[in-house]
Amino acid sequence: MAKQDDYTRYTIRLPTPLYERVKEAAGEASVNSLIVQVLEERYPAPDEDFERLIALLEQAQRLRGGARTDKQREVYDLVIKRVSDEIEKVLFPPPPSDD
């Protein structure tokens, strides 16, 4: 188990029917652990891939600033757009489907 310093204590109020569903879904685990698990899945910590995307975006922006032709600027604009879209997917993932 992680050290107590690794956690922030936060109290929430849940509607009783929701709490009962979460408690039932948790089974032998605690309600807290299930809530943490769901939040971790929905809001994962940025990873090394994310950091690489940020570095790539910054590099493309610098290179675009030094582009000599319209064609070079177009290419860098395309790279910047695609990397920005990938970053947005990491930061704002679509909600999970109810399959």
Out of 8-12, 16-20, 81-85, 87-91, least confident range = 87-91
Which has the closest alpha carbon to 63: 49, 51, 77?
Answer: 77
Residue range of the domain that includes 26: 4-42
Q: Express each pLDDT in 34-88 by its tens digit.
A: 999 999 888 877 777 788 888 889 998 999 999 999 999 999 999 999 999 988 8
> H-helix or E-strand containing 3?
none
**Residue 98 maps to a domain:** no
C-beta separation of 52 from 90 below 8 A: no
Does residue 97 fall inside a structural domain? no
- Residue 2, pLDDT score: 64
In terms of C-beta density within 10 A (0-12 exposed, 13-18 middle, 19 or more buried), how is residue 65 classed?
Answer: exposed
- 11 and 27 in a common domain: yes
